[in-house]
């Protein structure tokens, strides 16, 4: 189903786009004849071929594993990129907050998985109203306590259609989620007692149990995923419910598939990995299993930043015009890819580039940066240009997407 894709008129608000693009609608950018050299630094770009490669790699792998994908839409908050995922066969789109869920519903996503507990009664009532308005809409959310279930139950007591609730199971040292299987059972029983709710499955997030890809981390992740299976097998679902068994961040989707897929006869196995579409040159390039672990192609970073040298105040040091307002820095600092050196620090609007011996830049030169963590790259940009080839002398701008942050 086609989504409602934002198609704003470009203006000075669209960071990175030149004055000559003012007045163009986003949908007109592909025919505008723009190149990277026309854009205003700093600028974030997405590589079209890398997007397509990552999407086909992961969806083909998922089909072979017998699992479904509800990629995390909060990664980009870009309906145009969500459309690509749905076209590739996504079961639905995951989000993290009630507001993000409303963005997804407004865009036309018909299966929205809120990968979080909803404890806002007003938001829950809004979901009830949305479900009543659209018989084709499905909204699922999590609950990790009886108290959460009570909030949802009160808000949706008069709802004509129930809200699907997944019991979230965590573990010691994890993030959210009930800490024991017994507690998970009590939450499920509370959902079953609530007329406005429907028990729809079991879920959790394995990321906190494996900080790396070591054997010990993989064993810890597997042990946690087994608890999701154990809880799922203890629960009784209504006859008209095909339950959802869900896990799978972007670091361990292979382990989620290995542990959960054997139970697909009795449940929809839904993985929520979101970063794979964009991937990166940092954290996910180190953590992603796609490649040797999965016997697939490796994923490719589809995002780069381009930043101009604005100062060279002393030998071996250059200042670039991209800072914390423009590029992510929460997991790794950007990595120079067109010059030999290291980004050692970021200010709001500057990057400190320490040049390797023998490496030189000049004021005005544009430096390509590899980035880490697409979630905190995209949230700094309202419009992102799509280019044909980041390795070309002057890449062609073949499109653009709007984000909804």
Domain contains 291: no
Domain contains 234: yes
**For the whole model, what pTM was predicted?**
0.96
Domain count, the chain: 2
**CB neighbourhood size of 27 (10 A):** 14
Q: For residue 256, what are the domain limits?
A: 51-278
Is residue 99 domain-shared with residue 202, that is, in the same domain? yes
User: Tokens 């087994």 appear where?
Assistant: 226
Q: What is the CATH number of the domain that holds 68?
A: 3.20.20.10
Instruction: List, for residues 106-150, the tens digit of each pLDDT value.
Output: 999 999 999 999 999 999 999 999 999 999 999 999 999 999 999
Instruction: List, for residues 149-166, the tens digit of each pLDDT value.
Output: 999 999 999 999 999 999
Four-residue CA torsion sign, 327, 331, 337, 342: positive
Residues contacting 157, CB < 8 A, separation 6+: 194, 195, 196
What confidence score (pLDDT) does residue 250 get?
A: 86
Is residue 249 domain-shared with residue 336, that is, in the same domain? no
Lowest mean pLDDT among 89-98, 116-125, 136-145, 208-217: 208-217
Instruction: List, for residues 246-262, the tens digit of each pLDDT value.
Output: 998 889 999 999 999 99
Domain final position from 223, 249, 278: 278
Average pLDDT rounded to a whole number, residues 338-352: 98
Is residue 313 domain-shared with residue 175, that is, in the same domain? no
Q: Any idea what the Cα angle at residue 285 is, between residues 205 and 271, rounded to 5°?
A: 30
Is residue 344 domain-shared with residue 261, that is, in the same domain? no
Q: For the chain, what is the mean pLDDT?
A: 97
Q: What is the CATH number of the domain that holds 29?
A: 2.40.37.20
Four-residue CA torsion sign, 326, 329, 335, 336: positive
CA distance 90 to 98: 20
Is residue 219 domain-shared with residue 233, that is, in the same domain? yes
Instruction: List, for residues 48-71, the tens digit of each pLDDT value.
Output: 999 999 999 999 999 999 999 999
Domain contains 11: no
What's the gap between Cα 378 and its chain centre?
A: 10
**CB neighbourhood size of 357 (10 A):** 7
3-state secondary structure of 400: strand
The token duo for 28 is 């007109």
Is residue 241 domain-shared with residue 96, that is, in the same domain? yes
């Amino acid at each position: 189903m086609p989504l409602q894709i934002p198609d704003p008129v470009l203006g000075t608000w669209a960071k990175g786009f030149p004055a000559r693009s003012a007045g163009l609608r986003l949908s007109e950018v592909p025919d505008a004849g723009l190149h990277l050299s026309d854009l205003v630094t700093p600028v974030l770009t997405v590589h079209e071929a890398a997007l397509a490669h990552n999407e086909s790699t992961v969806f083909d792998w998922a089909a072979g594993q017998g699992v479904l994908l509800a990629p995390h839409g909060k990664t980009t908050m870009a309906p145009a990129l969500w459309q690509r995922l749905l076209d590739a066969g996504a079961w639905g789109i995951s989000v993290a907050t009630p507001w993000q869920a409303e963005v997804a519903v407004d865009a036309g996503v018909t299966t929205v998985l809120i990968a979080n507990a909803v404890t806002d009664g007003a938001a829950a009532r809004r979901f009830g109203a949305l479900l009543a308005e659209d018989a084709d809409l499905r909204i699922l959310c999590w609950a990790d306590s009886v108290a959460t279930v009570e909030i949802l139950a009160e808000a949706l007591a008069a709802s004509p259609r129930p809200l699907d609730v997944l019991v979230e199971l965590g573990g010691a040292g994890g993030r959210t989620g009930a800490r024991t299987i017994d507690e998970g059972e009590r939450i499920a029983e509370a959902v079953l007692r609530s007329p406005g709710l429907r028990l729809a499955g079991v879920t959790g997030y394995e990321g906190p149990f494996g900080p790396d890809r070591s054997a010990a981390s993989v064993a810890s992740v597997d042990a946690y995923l087994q608890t999701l299976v154990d809880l799922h097998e203890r629960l009784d679902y209504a006859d008209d419910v095909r339950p959802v068994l869900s896990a799978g961040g972007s670091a361990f989707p292979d382990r989620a598939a290995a542990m959960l897929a054997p139970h697909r006869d009795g449940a929809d196995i839904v993985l929520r990995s979101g970063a794979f579409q964009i991937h990166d040159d940092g954290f996910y390039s180190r953590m992603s299993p796609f490649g040797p672990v999965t016997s697939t192609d490796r994923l490719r970073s589809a995002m780069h930043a381009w930043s101009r040298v604005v100062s060279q105040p002393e030998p071996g040091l250059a200042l670039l015009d991209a800072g914390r307002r423009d590029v992510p820095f929460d997991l790794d600092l950007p990595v120079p890819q067109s010059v030999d050196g290291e980004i050692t620090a970021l200010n709001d609007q500057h990057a400190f580039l320490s040049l390797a011996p023998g490496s030189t830049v000049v004021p005005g030169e544009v430096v390509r940066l590899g980035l880490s963590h697409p979630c905190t790259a995209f949230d700094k940009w309202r419009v992102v240009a799509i280019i044909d080839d980041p390795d070309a002398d002057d890449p062609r701008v073949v499109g653009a997407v709007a984000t909804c942050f």
